[in-house]
Structure 1
Amino acid sequence: MSLIDMPDSLGRDIRALRKSRKLTLSELAEKLGRSVGWMSQVERDLSEPSMSEIKDLARAFDVPVQTLYGHAPARAGEEGRIVRANARRPVGHRADGLSEDLLSPDLTDDFEVVHSTFAPLARRDEPLSRPTQEVGYIISGALDLTVGGTTHRLNPGDSFRIRGEPFSWANPNTTPCIAIWVIAPPVY
């Protein structure tokens, strides 16, 4: 597969994103101005969406286009199992100084693993709440994580859990903070 080809898991990834947002096939099709039949065929990999349709899907899910398309392909025999460092899919909004890459091979599991890089002095002040359970591990740097109104300073080797509670974060340092997050169910 070249960079212009669609990933093998595209239909399954679209289905996982739709379900994580609690959208029915009909609701998503209506949002896109497409038929339910077309949407069903895309999710079952019977129809390949055009680039403009991929962009529409990314907008509907509020994810970067690269989450669905444009990342480096897996090596032969590694599809669905191995994600090489140069083949990670960007996920999230890349706002507030946070960049995230999917470490999971696709979005079809009961959870997703994300590599998060918090830029120096980056912060998210407005609490985020999502219907997930999340566990994280700080690899390097420091992160001030506020969960349920209480702020915790996390350093390398520290881990945390969030169970659907409102949370916000700040990198208090002038160096990046690197963390690994496991999120269930997948939200990206």
Structure 2
Amino acid sequence: MSVMDEVRSGLGTDLRRLRKSKGLRIADLAALTNRSTGWISQVERGRSRLDYEDLKILAQAFELPLSQLFRRDGAVLAPEDTVLRADQRRALSADNSGAMDDLLTPMMAGIHFYSSELAPHTASERPRHEGDIMMGLVVKGDVQIRIGDRHHHLGAGDSFWSRGEAFSWLNPHDTPCTVVWVLAPLPDDPDA
């Protein structure tokens, strides 16, 4: 079993437990998420990939913060908790691109702080996060990014930021690349 299969299987098992703990049938969850019962069943059995939109919809259906689906142990963080241990986090595939994302803290005010392992010879599926502020630091490896119409080659220690522009990445190398990201909504005041 691959790492991705293990991740999907673990998340699927947790989603099944969560659904049952809420007293929901597969058909109930399908109705809440506007998805088919077959899709819900495939997710619970670890046979479907989930992207952020899927996770957001599931979190809304369960009335949970999205960050809760990244927790391995399923325990809800108390408001006074300020530490999230490495073994409490679950890395998830953000899309079918080859990126494994690890949410580093619970989301606060729409701010995402996460780490991604970009597999060799992979690329983002499409430009993402248009309309958000995105910042990143390449921790390990090399990556190519496109911000708007500008193309950049980055290595370990390089950082970047984008203010509301389309963003995409490419790892054409034989080694993985690790990037730490912060994603936040644009403020209402354009001069902020």
- Counterpart in the other structure of 1:99: 100
- In percent, how many aligned pairs have the same letter? 29
Aligned residue in 2 for 1:119: 119
Q: 1:91 to 1:185 in 2, by over 3 A?
A: farther
Q: Which runs of 4+ in 1 moved over 3 A?
A: 3-6, 58-61, 64-70, 73-80, 89-92
Contact in 1 for aligned 2:137/2:181 (Cα 8 Å): yes
d(CA) in 2 for partners of 1:166, 1:135: 13
Paired amino acid for 2:167:
F
Q: Distance in 2 between matches of 1:81 and 1:91?
A: 22
TM-score by length of 2: 0.58
- Residue 41 of structure 1 corresponds to none
C-alpha distance in 2, partners of 1:177/1:156?
9
- Maintained 8 Å contact 1:91/1:101: yes
Matched, 1:90 2:91: yes
Structure with bigger RCO (C-alpha 8 Å, 6+ apart): 1
What stretches of structure 1 of length at least 5 have no aligned partner? 7-30, 35-50
Once the two structures are TM-superposed, the CA of residue 79 in structure 1 deviates from its matched residue by 6.5
* Residue of structure 1 in register with 2:169 after alignment: 169
Pick closer, same or farther for the CA change 1:159–1:59 going to 2, 3 Å. closer
SS at match of 1:63: helix
Distance 1:125 1:110 in 2: 23
Quickly say closer, same or farther: Cα 1:78–1:128, change in 2 above 3 A.
closer
Structure 2 match to 1:62 = 54
1:39 alignment partner in structure 2 = none
Find the residue that maps to 1:99 and give its secondary structure.
strand
Indicate if the aligned counterparts of 1:74 and 1:82 stay in contact, CA closer than 8 A: no
The 8 Å contact of residues 63 and 92 in structure 1, kept in 2 or not, is answered as: no
Tell me the matched-pair count: 140
Counterpart residue number, 1:183: 183
C-alpha separation in 1, matches of 2:129 and 2:102: 20
TM-score normalized by the length of structure 1? 0.59
